[in-house]
Structure 1
Amino acid sequence: MIRELGETIGDAVVESVGRAVARSQEQMPLDADLLESDDAYLALFDAPGVESGDVQVRFEDGTVIVRVDRFRDFHDGYEMRFPGRGLSLDGRVDLPDDATVDVSGATATLKENGTLQVEIPKVEAGDVANEQTDAEDDDAEATGDDTADAADEN
């Protein structure tokens, strides 16, 4: 009886700690890099365990904003002991203040290794019709990656 009580208390403690770890992970931004070429900016976000339908990408006031709502898969024959992975994750990357980009030409690609790549093409400073300052908040949908491209990335 005392042993069963101890196991029950232990299970509750482990689950509570796991939920606290998940909540703290949800408070931390997704790790991200910003790269620049002559033609575009490339924002890279670490988003492991995410499906392309779980990703939302927005561009707002010179910032790439990412929201990920991932799910835990059910594994037949297993029960959750330590729910330590955050499910709702956010990230953001600020473009340089002088960046002029074509938000409507942006693409978001989710690689098999869990990296979300958001590419935003640059435009000439004189092409004001497509500059970031004239674009409204645009949403991009992440597309899946095929195996050949993922192999090249790894």
Structure 2
Amino acid sequence: MSLKDFTNSVGNTLYRQVGRASSQFQRQRSLPVDILENDEAYLVVFDAPGVDTEDVQVRYLEGTVKIRLDRFREFHDGYEMRFPGRSMSLEGEAELPDDALVDADAGTARLGEHGSLRIEIPKAEAAETTDAERIALEE
């Protein structure tokens, strides 16, 4: 093995390790989120890049909207992976205000064509909410 081959091998290994560390950092950090409110509902908006509707999980649990996104890397013919820096699993959560009374059963989630996940949860008139409810993702 030549010195150049050895240097390339070490460089490639280090580059991949940095990519994996970057990926792990993304996985540990919650996705950016906006929480909006009007008279009828709360709107929770997450960035959801590179996911399909079947790869999105949305839950409402004790005042918190929790999501999990699973995505996949596309194969690019003729290219080799050099820096695997994007995490394939992303999570996020948004805590609604303490005084929020919602009807989580009536909540909807929509995945926009530009990579945003919009979760709308209507406000409830009475405090008849359950502790854990799944919000259906509309296609």
TM (norm. structure 2) is 0.93
- Figure out how many residues of one structure are paired with residues of the other and give that number: 138
> Contact conserved, 1:55 with 1:141, CA < 8 A, in 2?
no
For the residue of structure 2 that corresponds to 1:23, the secondary structure is helix
Which residue, out of 138, 142, 151, partners 2:137? 142
What is the rounded CA distance, in whole Å, between the counterparts of 1:67 and 1:141 in structure 2?
13
Percent identity for Structure 1 against Structure 2: 50
5+ long unaligned stretches in structure 1: 145-154
Following TM superposition, by how much is the alpha carbon of 1:5 offset from its aligned partner in structure 2, in angstroms?
1.1
What is the rounded CA distance, in whole Å, between the counterparts of 1:21 and 1:45 in structure 2?
20
| Bigger helix fraction | 1
What is the rounded CA distance, in whole Å, between the counterparts of 2:89 and 2:51 in structure 1?
11
Q: Which amino acid aligns with 2:27?
A: E
What is the rounded CA distance, in whole Å, between the counterparts of 2:76 and 2:138 in structure 1?
26
5+ long unaligned stretches in structure 2: none
What is the rounded CA distance, in whole Å, between the counterparts of 1:44 and 1:140 in structure 2?
14
What is the rounded CA distance, in whole Å, between the counterparts of 1:87 and 1:143 in structure 2?
22
Following TM superposition, by how much is the alpha carbon of 1:142 offset from its aligned partner in structure 2, in angstroms?
2.6
List structure 1 segments (4+ residues) > 3 angstroms apart after TM superposition. Answer: none
What is the rounded CA distance, in whole Å, between the counterparts of 2:49 and 2:75 in structure 1?
17
**1:69 — aligned with what?**
70
For the residue of structure 1 that corresponds to 2:93, the secondary structure is strand
What is the rounded CA distance, in whole Å, between the counterparts of 2:98 and 2:90 in structure 1?
26
TM (norm. structure 1) is 0.85
